[in-house]
Structure 1
Amino acid sequence: MATTNNHVTVLEKCRISPPPNTVGQKSLPLTFFDIVWLLFHPIQQLFFYNFPHPKSHFIATIIPKLKHSLSKTLQHFFPFAGNLLVFPSSSKKPEIRHVDGDSLPLIFAECDLDFNHLKGNHPRDCNLFHPLVPRLENAFKETDDIVKIPVFAIQVTIFPNSGFTIGLTNHHSLCDARTRYHFLMAWTSIARHGTDDLFLSNDQLHPFYDRVIQYPTSLDDMILSLPPIQTIDESYRVPELVQHTDRVRATLVLTRTEINSLKKCVLVQVPSLEYVSSFVVGCGFVWSCIAKSRVEVEGKEGEYEVEQFGCAVDWGARLNPPLPPTYFGNCLGPIVATTKTTLIIGDKGFPAAVELFATAIREGVNCKEGVFKDAEEWLERVLQDVPTMTVAGTPKQNVYEVDFGWGKPEKYESISIEFGSISVNAGKESSEGLEIGLWLPAKQMDAFISISKNELENMHSVS
Structure 2
Amino acid sequence: MVHETTKVHGHEVTVTTTSTSTVAPALPSQEQRLALSNLDLLLPPMDVGVFFCYAGAGQGAAVAAPAPILKVSLAKVLVAYYPLAGEVVANAAGEAELLCSGRGVDFAEASAGGAELRDLRLGMVDESADKLVPKKKAGVMCVQVTKFKCGGAVVGCTFDHRVCDAYSFNMFLVAWAAAARGSSVTLAPSFDRSFLAPSNPPPPCPDALADRLFVPVSCVSAPPATAAVTNRIYRVAADDVAALQESAGHGRGRRTKLEAFTAHLWQLYARAAASSGQRRTCCMGVVVDGRTRLRRDGAMKGYFGNVLTIPYGVKGSDDLRGMALADAADDVHRWVVEAATGDHFRGLIDWVESLRPEPTVAKAYLGGGDGFGDGAGATACVVSSGMRFPVGEVDFGWGRPAFASYHFPWPGGAGYVMPMPSARGDGDWMVYVHAAPEVVTAMEQEPTVFKALDCDYVFDRV
SS at match of 2:382: strand
Q: Identify which of 195, 215, 219 aligns with 2:198.
A: 215
SS at match of 1:428: coil
Kept in 2: contact 1:399–1:412 (CA 8 A)? yes
Work out whether 1:283 is the aligned partner of 2:258. Answer: no
Question: Within 1, Cα distance between the matches of 2:32 and 2:384?
Answer: 30
Aligned to 1:34: 40
Q: Identify which of 57, 68, 73 aligns with 1:69.
A: 73
Q: 1:227 to 1:158 in 2, by over 3 A?
A: farther
Aligned partner of 1:35: which letter? L
Question: Within 1, Cα distance between the matches of 2:345 and 2:442?
Answer: 42
Q: 1:357 to 1:371 in 2, by over 3 A?
A: farther
Aligned partner of 2:334: which letter? T
Tell me the CA shift for residue 248 of structure 1. Answer: 4.8
Task: Give a deviation string over 1:323-374, Cα, whole Å, max 9, x none.
Answer: 520011111111112111122224x453333222111101222586664269
Tell me the CA shift for residue 12 of structure 1. Answer: 0.9
Percentage of identical aligned residues: 20
Which TM-score applies when normalising by structure 2?
Answer: 0.77
Aligned to 1:98: 100
Tell me the CA shift for residue 40 of structure 1. Answer: 4.4
Q: 1:430 to 1:96 in 2, by over 3 A?
A: same
Task: Give a deviation string over 1:89-139, Cα, whole Å, max 9, x none.
Answer: x33754212235x11100111124552243645xx262432121111215x
Aligned to 2:3: 4
SS at match of 1:107: strand
Question: Within 2, Cα distance between the matches of 1:172 and 1:75?
Answer: 20
Aligned partner of 1:342: which letter? D
Matches within 5 A, 1:79-118: 79-87=83-91, 90-91=92-93, 94-100=96-102, 102-112=103-113, 113=115, 115-118=117-120
* Structure 1: gaps (5+ residues): 139-149, 229-241, 457-463
Work out whether 1:47 is the aligned partner of 2:52. Answer: yes
Question: Within 1, Cα distance between the matches of 2:119 and 2:321?
Answer: 32
Kept in 2: contact 1:52–1:160 (CA 8 A)? no
Question: Within 1, Cα distance between the matches of 2:319 and 2:254?
Answer: 21
Aligned length: 404
Tell me the CA shift for residue 45 of structure 1. Answer: 1.2
Question: Within 2, Cα distance between the matches of 1:389 and 1:216?
Answer: 32
Kept in 1: contact 2:49–2:156 (CA 8 A)? yes
Task: Give a deviation string over 1:313-332, Cα, whole Å, max 9, x none.
Answer: 11111115765200111111
Q: 1:452 to 1:281 in 2, by over 3 A?
A: farther
Kept in 2: contact 1:311–1:390 (CA 8 A)? yes
Tell me the CA shift for residue 455 of structure 1. Answer: 10
Q: 1:137 to 1:358 in 2, by over 3 A?
A: same
Q: Identify which of 421, 443, 451 aligns with 2:446.
A: 451
* Structure 2: gaps (5+ residues): 6-13, 220-225, 353-359, 370-374, 452-462
Task: Give a deviation string over 1:404-429, Cα, whole Å, max 9, x none.
Answer: 12111211232214553011112333
Higher helix proportion (structure 1 or 2)? 1
Q: Identify which of 351, 355, 362 aligns with 2:326.
A: 351
Structure 1 outlier segments of 4+, above 4 Å: 56-60, 216-219, 225-228, 320-323, 366-371, 373-378, 440-444
SS at match of 2:311: strand
Tell me the CA shift for residue 441 of structure 1. Answer: 5.9
Question: Within 2, Cα distance between the matches of 1:277 and 1:59?
Answer: 38
Aligned to 1:437: 432
Kept in 2: contact 1:48–1:119 (CA 8 A)? no
